[in-house]
Each structure stands twice: as structure tokens, then as C-alpha cells.
Chains A and B, each alone.
Chain A
Amino acid sequence: MISQLSWKIGGQQGEGVESTDRIFSTALNRLGYYLYGYRHFSSRIKGGHTNNKIRISTYPIRAISDDLDILVAFDQESIDLNAKELRTGGVIVADAKFNPVVPEGIDARLFAVPITKMAEELGTSLMKNMVASGASWALLGLPLEVFNKAVEEEFGRKGAAIVEKNIEAVKLGAEFVLEQAGGPLDEFKLGDADGQQKLFMIGNEAIGLGCIAAGCRLMSAYPITPASEIMEYLIKKLPALGGTVVQTEDEIAAVTMAIGANYAGVRTMTASAGPGLSLMMEAIGLAGMTETPLVIVDTQRGGPSTGLPTKQEQSDLNAMVYGTHGEIPKIVIAPASIEDCFYDMIEAFNLAEQYQVPVIVMTDLQLSLGKQSCEPFDFNSIQINRGKLVEEGPELEQHQLFKRYELTEDGVSPRILPGAKNGIHHVTGVEHDETGRPSESATNRLKMMDKRLHKLDDLFIREGLRVDAPNETPDLLIIGMGSTGGTIDQAREWLTNDGITTNHITIRQIHPFPTEQLLPHLQQAKKVVVIENNATAQLAGQIKMNAGFAEKIRNLLKYDGNPFLPSEVYKACKELD
């Protein structure tokens, strides 16, 4: 019995790779396995090699694996590109139609299944993905009825006949391969899963669900990879709650519409990736200046410009921290797991209203799109805090305005919504006085700048740092953010085996930087390595600038568009100077 294995399906984009992966992993999730998915895709609709990889485990995992056990290939290209990942004795399930060949030097067992032929005999070649997945499922020796249930759910709305045909396709694939192999392969026999019901979703869905839990009822957004799933999820769910999603003409409209709606009292968000974030910068300044709550999700992808739109990167950090002209208070938080994606949205909306500032939630492509097992969300932990929102203002004299920007001890002023009695005030991006009226007075300017900029002085969010520090003086402190945490933990296991002691800190509060909380960890470590998917060490830059220790800090950077592999992190940590 093994505790984990990796499965990959490859083919041409539009060939059913996505749906096969979906059904395969849904069935595994039902059995209680922990899953971690990775999508390799291109910025086009049909054609071009694409592959989905799932790591299946009996215990929690949050990283892709270096190697591969089973490769399902719809074409020779999928074999040629991916066979090198196969571990010795790995399996290839391929369509007999293209006379699959195992590349030279690869020790793998090939099952050439007449995938297309069987599908066509059932009526349509569209069903070849079912034949293929049936074959690979059978090799694992997993119960077929669970798989069939997932098939039923996928095709149920197309009618019983279609469901039946697809189940037949699964059966044909399974029977064929079992006959060839002489039964399920013992070396791929997975141990029992823990049987605990888990959720299985991508980060963008967790973000969407988190928004709903947070009371967000409007979203204005412009489609972009890899953020669009958030709007697609919310447009399905918000109408039942009285809200909606507006697909705007561009990201400037998206963010300013969100500002207008937040000003008028509805928790509203927008989501985008780097190019959209760049377009939003001026408006983010408006939100900061007018102290209007605003929540933006930036699902980072490869930059700059159009960059690598379907690839992993973490290179918008500086843009999020520094973007917009002038100086405003702003919060940047970085979820580091699917669970974080959910809870951090609730936190983001609360922070935005409590501090009356723009909040940017940064994810990266792998976190946004990688499908993963996820612990069930705790409904009772959902708390909504609207800060200093008042329903009605005090009795006002003629021409007297509500002090929307009243100078207070904590810098946060009472906020009132349009429509409220005795609440009329002005809102402007021009420097203004306590009632919002434009003012160029130097005294007022200083008071207002200080008021705004000191609002976040003591901010430290829930798990602003996620600390796993078993060692008092570790040989190595590994620091990361976003989706890299699981990969780092996998590498740490191997480092521990080699006698290298490590601590791991995930920085979740990117801005304002949690200097005070991070300092002791930096002090204790003999060496520090900061791992990030960008070329200019942006996170390390924040650490050095805020906390120092430049002499201790090393960088591990990857910016080729792919997530770190555990072995890369392990090797680099071993070889640190």
C-alpha cells in the first residue's frame, strides 16, 4: 500500500482534459483522499498541449510532486513532453489509435487502449476521455461505483441516455486495461483515505464563497486570466441574495464602480490580474484619499505587460504595495491556502470597512486555479464588522455638514451612507477638511495626511505571519508567501532527514509589513532564505527594507512560469552559501 501517487492527463486543449480531471478528482475526493491539482494550459481555446496533474494522498499535502506515477495521454506529444516525469516503473495509458511509443531511456509500462475506437463504437469520440479515465481508475483498483456516481453528476443534466453511455465507456476502458494488466496494479494500491468529508475547489471559488460569506453583494469586473472564475462564480450565486455582478467595459470602470457602490454602502469587490491592477491604480488612490472601503483581488500571473498570462508568478507585490501616486494607507494580504482564500475575504471586507481603506488580496495563479482538498469552512467563525458606520447623523444647523472626516484618536472617522438623514457631506479626491470640503490649508493638509497614514499603525491581521518554528535557532529560516507553502514544507521534510533544522514563515500580511512580529525569527535563524516566484526578490526586498538582516538573507527565485517543485527548494536550500 502506498500513501500517495501522482496522476496526469495530457492532450490537446479542448479535448476533454479538463472534464476528465474534474470527474476523476471528484470521485477521489468522495473517497476522502487529499488532492492537489495543477493545470498546465495556454492562452487559447482549442489546440495546443495542455495537461492536468493531480497528486493524491492519504494525508494532507499542499504541493505538486516532482514525479509522476500514471500518465494518461491522448496524443504522442503528451507522452513526449511528460514521460520524463514518470518514476521508474510508472504507467502510461495511451490511445492505441496513434500507436504510442515510450520515449527512449524511459522505463515505463505502456497500456495502449483503443480509446478512440471504443468511444466511437459507443457513438461519439467525445467519450474517449471516459474510456481513458475508466482505464486509469481501474488500474488503481478503486471502487468503480464511486467513479460512476461522479460521471452521473457530470452528465446528469444531459439525460439518462448520455449518462448510461458514459458509464459504459468507463466500463469498457476499465475492462480492457484490467485484462491486459491482469488486474489492478499492486504497486499503485493506495491506502485507505481518512474518510473525512473534505471540500474540493480552486482558490478562486473559495474567494467567491468567502465574498458571499463576507456580505459582499456586488462585484464589478472585467474578465482576465486567472481571475475570471471569481466573477463567474459570483454571477451564479449573487442573484439569490439580491445582488449581481456587472461585467464592465474595463478595469477602470470595474474599480470605480466598486468605489461608488462601497461609498453607497454595499460591500463590493473587483478582481483582476496584473494588467487590470495597473489600470486600477489611480482609483485605488481615490479610495485611499476618500477613505472609501474597497476590496480588490489580484490573482497574479506572469508579467510584465501581457507576460505569461496562464503561468505562475508572484511579481505584482511591489505594484500592490507601492502602486498609486501620492501616499495612502492600504492593506495587502496574501492568502496561502484554499482555506485562507475563504477566511481572508471575510477579513478583507471587515478591514476595508473598519479602517476605511483599500484592501488588496493577492493570490497567485497556482493558488487561484489549482484544485485542492480543503477543510470544511466554519460557518460560526463568520463575523461581519462594519467599523464606524452610523445610520443617522446628529442634528445639523443650516449649511452645516456631517464630519465624515472628523479627526479622531485612531484616525478613523464615522462613516454615513448617502440617503441617511443629517449625513450630507462632501467626498472628494482633492485634499479636504473634516466635512469633505476642498481645502488647501497647510495645517489642514498635515492633519489629514497624518490622520489617514496612521490609521494602520498597529495593524496585525489574523495570522499575519504563519509561523512553523519548531527550532529555537534553526539552521535555516525559510520565508515564502502564497501558494509556495506546501512545497516548502515538503522540502523541509527532506532537509530534516538530512539533519538540517528549519523554521518556516509564511508572510500573509504583506503591507503594512509586520516588522515587529518577524524580527525575532530573523534574529534566531542562522540563515534565511526567501522563496518567491519573481525575478527581483520583491518579498526579500520588503524584509530587508523593513527588518534588515540583509547579510543573512538569500534568495530563491523562479520566474520561468512554473511553480517551484519540492526538489528545487530542497536542492537550493542544501546548496545555500
Chain B
Amino acid sequence: MATFKEFRNNVKPNWCPGCGDFSIQAAIQRAAANVGLEPEELAVISGIGCSGRISGYINAYGLHGIHGRALPIAQGVKLANRELTVIASGGDGDGFAIGMGHTVHAIRRNLNITYIVMDNQIYGLTKGQTSPRSAEGFKTKSTPEGSIESTLSPLEIALSAGATFVAQSFSSDLKQLTALIEAGIKHEGFSLINVFSPCVTFNKINTYDWFKENIVNLEQFPDYDPTNRVTAMNKIMETNGMLTGLIYQNTVRKSYEDMITGFRQEALAKQDLSLSEEHFAKLVAEFK
């Protein structure tokens, strides 16, 4: 069985020293090993941005696509080969700005994939512009007077879009994050894990210390019931979206793959492409 070391490769990430993304990468590698995957059984599909590079830093199959489209690509991979574990990953700009439409619909569709958002509340690779996750009043190169748009709450959106697994974590909490990714991989359906991942270069507000002060860990509430959508929504609002842990899980709803008529358990990619002459004749007969 593969250990987390086997999910490492020899590529040095081009992230800044201290970037939260390093821990997220480590958590994915540990979670993959903990759930018993071999490197070739995992496909990491990532978007564009600093965090989008992650697919190249993990020893697994990986596709680094185009900005905002990690999710549709990942869903295509899963449809083609449901035997693979598919993780989609990218930044908050990738998933909640340019790719927001896909995020909502991937949640609704509920294919069995895990989406890990590396949320740093800013655009890093383009050197510091506002993100939908930036706080109101947040000053960046593109909002010199402070952002005048309201901050997007991906957790609330996910719940209202019909998400079956919603979690949030903090890159410094490797233990919690690893456990949540494992749970997300095991969840039969779409799992969204939003991870606070401080940008040490361009975000001087949402720093490690700031998160430590503001995060509300759900462990504080021993009675919290993650299967209750109403209390989940309330808790997100009460904590102003700063809660971490497993926020909501619906284990009743089947995954998209399991609801498609005729869709087989075996990977479609392994199926023979040929068509029997009899089947063909039947199709043609409809046009006579």
C-alpha cells in the first residue's frame, strides 16, 4: 500500500515560502495514502493561479487546465472513469469568480468528486487584486479605495445549491484538513472543502494570526449535527462563515453516476468501443 511519500514528486513548488498551499498539498497526499489509494488511482485536476499548480506537485495523474474550468474537466474525467478518485482543486478566484457557474452546477450535479478550494481571499499569481472572497473595504491593487462588493459566502451558496458535503478548514490545521479530505474522498457524491490558505505576500489582513483569532472550530459544539441543513446554514451565518470542520453531509442522496440510467459500475474508459451489427441494425431501422 502506498504511503504519503509515494504521492510526492521531485518538483519544487513555485509557491512563496510560508504559503498555506504547502500544507494543503501535504494533506491531500496524506489523505490519499490514508484512504488506501495508489498514485495511479488518483487524478488531480486543477485550475489556474498559484494554487492551480498543485496537480503538478503530487505524484498522481494530473491535469492543469484553464482558468475556472477545473470542475467540468474533473467531472469529465470521473464520468469517463469512475474507478478513479478525482480531486479538483484551485483558488478562490478560480472557483468562486471565473468558475462560479461551474461550481454551483457541479454541486447540483453531485458527481462523486472532491473539490478543494485554496482560499486566500486574493489574487496572488497576478500579484494582488481583489477576489470575491475579499472582505468589503479590502484594499488591493484593483481596489485602491477598498472593495465595495459584498463578500461571497461559498458555504451558503453550496448549501442552497444542494451540496451533499460541505466542509471548511485551515491550512495550519493539518490534522483536521487531512481528516476532512479523507471524509470528502469517501463521501459518495460531490464534496466541497474550502480551505483558508493565507497568502503571505499579498494579503496582509487575512494572515495566519488573523485566522487563528477568528476561526470557530465546530469541535467546540459537541452537539452539532452535520446532517441538519438548517442548523448548518444558521451556523455558517452565526460564525460569519469562519467555522471549520464538517459542516454538512447528506448521505442519502445518490451520486450522479449512480442515478444515470444504464451507467455501469465499470469504468466507461475500459469498455470496448465496438458496436454489434445487430445493435447497429436496430438503430438504423428507425430511419426507414
B149 within 8 A of A: no
Contact stretch, chosen from B76-84, B188-196, B212-220, B239-247: B76-84
Instruction: Say how far A313's CB is from chain B's closest CB, in angstroms.
Output: 27
- Cβ-defined contact, A417 with B269, below 8 A: yes
Specify which of A198, A239, A261, A267 lies most central, judged by the most chain B CB atoms within 10 Å of its CB. A261
- Cβ-defined contact, B260 with A199, below 8 A: no
Query: How far, in angstroms, from A77 to B74 measured CA to CA in the complex?
Result: 52
One of B71, B271, B284 near A242 (C-beta < 8 A): B271
Please, could you name 12 A-B residue pairs with CB atoms under 8 Å apart, sorted by A?
A199-B284, A217-B268, A220-B72, A239-B262, A242-B268, A248-B72, A253-B105, A256-B69, A256-B72, A261-B79, A283-B66, A419-B267
Query: How far, in angstroms, from A258 to B75 measured CA to CA in the complex?
Result: 9
Note all chain A residues with C-beta closer than 8 A to B61. Answer: 418-419, 423-425
Using an 8 Å CB-CB cutoff, how does the interface string of B122-165 with A read, 1 for contact, 0 for none?
00000000000000000000000000000000000000000000
Query: How far, in angstroms, from A218 to B263 measured CA to CA in the complex?
Result: 11
- Cβ-defined contact, A264 with B269, below 8 A: yes
Give the residue name and chain of the A residue nearest to B11 (CB): A437
Instruction: Say how far A399's CB is from chain B's closest CB, in angstroms.
Output: 4
Contact stretch, chosen from B17-25, B38-46, B178-186, B221-229: B38-46
- Cβ-defined contact, A426 with B260, below 8 A: no
Contact stretch, chosen from B27-35, B166-174, B197-205, B274-282: B274-282
Give the residue name and chain of the B residue nearest to A255 (CB): B72
In this complex, the interface size class of chain B, counting residues with CB under 8 Å from chain A, is 35 or more
Query: How far, in angstroms, from A244 to B260 measured CA to CA in the complex?
Result: 7
Note all chain B residues with C-beta closer than 8 A to A243. Answer: 262-263, 268
B91 within 8 A of A: no
Note all chain A residues with C-beta closer than 8 A to B60. Answer: 424
- Cβ-defined contact, B63 with A419, below 8 A: no
- Cβ-defined contact, B287 with A199, below 8 A: yes
One of B43, B64, B263, B274 near A264 (C-beta < 8 A): B43
Interface residues of A in 400-414 (CB under 8 A from B): 401
Give the residue name and chain of the A residue nearest to B271 (CB): A242
- Cβ-defined contact, A260 with B262, below 8 A: no
One of A197, A205, A242, A428 near B263 (C-beta < 8 A): A242
Query: How far, in angstroms, from A443 to B275 measured CA to CA in the complex?
Result: 45
Give the residue name and chain of the B residue nearest to A421 (CB): B40
- Cβ-defined contact, B284 with A260, below 8 A: no
A147 within 8 A of B: no
Instruction: Say how far B209's CB is from chain A's closest CB, in angstroms.
Output: 33
Query: How far, in angstroms, from A303 to B78 measured CA to CA in the complex?
Result: 35
Note all chain B residues with C-beta closer than 8 A to A430. Answer: 64
Note all chain A residues with C-beta closer than 8 A to B261. Answer: 239, 244
Contact stretch, chosen from A136-144, A208-216, A508-516: A208-216
Note all chain B residues with C-beta closer than 8 A to A241. Answer: 262, 275, 279
Give the residue name and chain of the A residue nearest to B46 (CB): A428
Q: DSSP class of A's interface residues: helix, strand, loop or mixed?
A: mixed
One of A213, A266, A401 near B275 (C-beta < 8 A): A213
Using an 8 Å CB-CB cutoff, how does the interface string of A478-516 with B read, 1 for contact, 0 for none?
000000000000000000000000000000000000000
Q: A258-B76, A265-B269 are in contact. Are A418 and B283 (CB under 8 A)?
A: no
B264 within 8 A of A: yes
In this complex, the interface size class of chain A, counting residues with CB under 8 Å from chain B, is 35 or more
B97 within 8 A of A: no
- Cβ-defined contact, B72 with A257, below 8 A: yes
Note all chain A residues with C-beta closer than 8 A to B71. Answer: 253
Nearest 5 pairs between A and B by C-beta?
A260-B76, A215-B273, A265-B269, A239-B262, A264-B80
- Cβ-defined contact, B287 with A252, below 8 A: no
Using an 8 Å CB-CB cutoff, how does the interface string of A234-278 with B read, 1 for contact, 0 for none?
000111111110101110111011111111111110000000000
- Cβ-defined contact, B80 with A268, below 8 A: yes
Query: How far, in angstroms, from A259 to B80 measured CA to CA in the complex?
Result: 10
B234 within 8 A of A: no
Q: A239-B261, A266-B79 are in contact. Are A217 and B73 (CB under 8 A)?
A: no
Note all chain A residues with C-beta closer than 8 A to B281. Answer: 379
Instruction: Say how far A161's CB is from chain B's closest CB, in angstroms.
Output: 25
Query: How far, in angstroms, from A257 to B109 measured CA to CA in the complex?
Result: 13
A48 within 8 A of B: no
Q: A205-B287, A244-B263, A418-B43 are in contact. Are A286 and B62 (CB under 8 A)?
A: no
- Cβ-defined contact, A249 with B101, below 8 A: yes
One of A377, A418, A421, A426 near B284 (C-beta < 8 A): A377
Query: How far, in angstroms, from A374 to B287 measured CA to CA in the complex?
Result: 9
Give the residue name and chain of the A residue nearest to B109 (CB): A246
Note all chain B residues with C-beta closer than 8 A to A201. Answer: 287
A420 within 8 A of B: yes
- Cβ-defined contact, B288 with A246, below 8 A: no
One of A237, A252, A419, A427 near B40 (C-beta < 8 A): A419
Instruction: Say how far A223's CB is from chain B's closest CB, in angstroms.
Output: 15
- Cβ-defined contact, A218 with B268, below 8 A: yes
Note all chain A residues with C-beta closer than 8 A to B39. Answer: 424
Query: How far, in angstroms, from A246 to B260 measured CA to CA in the complex?
Result: 10
- Cβ-defined contact, B268 with A266, below 8 A: yes
Give the residue name and chain of the A residue nearest to B61 (CB): A418
A200 within 8 A of B: yes
Q: A248-B105, A264-B84, A419-B267 are in contact. Are A215 and B75 (CB under 8 A)?
A: no
B235 within 8 A of A: no
